Amino acid sequence: MSGPALRQANAHYAIHESAYGEAEELLTLLQRVIQLGEWEQGMQVADVLAEHFEARTLAHAHEEENGLYQEIVAEHPELSVVIATLTHDHDLMRQLVDEVRALLQSTGTDTEDVLEQAVNRFVTLMWINQNHSRAEEKMVGSL
């Protein structure tokens, strides 16, 4: 069973916005240290941002998939395609975080290039997350 906040549109929105705002601040910091050429600090910030996505966004996704989404499909089978799409979004986000993790652990690669590729993935992750959140909130609000 999912927590009650996941079924309340306003509370669910607040969860999304809080995590997104924190990620946005970290991404801005990452871009700033890269502009300054602080490669080691950039690697540290990128690692913290990946941890943030794992602990906040992907942990939240896991809760949704193992509670809320199952409950919604049981109560509203007509939403199974919507749930499948939202779950696919989660899979894409997991893949992007895994790719960032692999980049950060790569050896013999130019650190500046690693950070540029990581930023590209983080920007994509933020875009997917924002669009996913709005679609999910719309669905939860319609229940």
* Integer Rg of the chain from CA: 17
pLDDT digits (tens, 9 = 90+) for 55-91: 999 999 999 999 999 999 999 999 999 999 999 999 9
| Residues ≥6 apart with Cβ < 8 Å to 44 | none
Looking up tokens 């960032």 gives: 100
Give the range of the structural domain holding residue 47, as residue numbers without chain letter: 4-142
Distance CA 49, CA 22 (A): 9
pLDDT digits (tens, 9 = 90+) for 18-49: 999 999 999 999 999 999 999 999 999 999 99
Decide if pLDDT at 5 tops 70: no
CATH number of the structural domain spanning residue 74: 1.20.120.520
HSE-up (13 A, CA, CB side) for residue 138? 10
**Predicted confidence band of residue 11 (pLDDT cuts 50, 70, 90):** confident
Give how many domains the chain has, as a whole number.
Answer: 1
Helices then strands (H, E): number in the chain?
7, 0
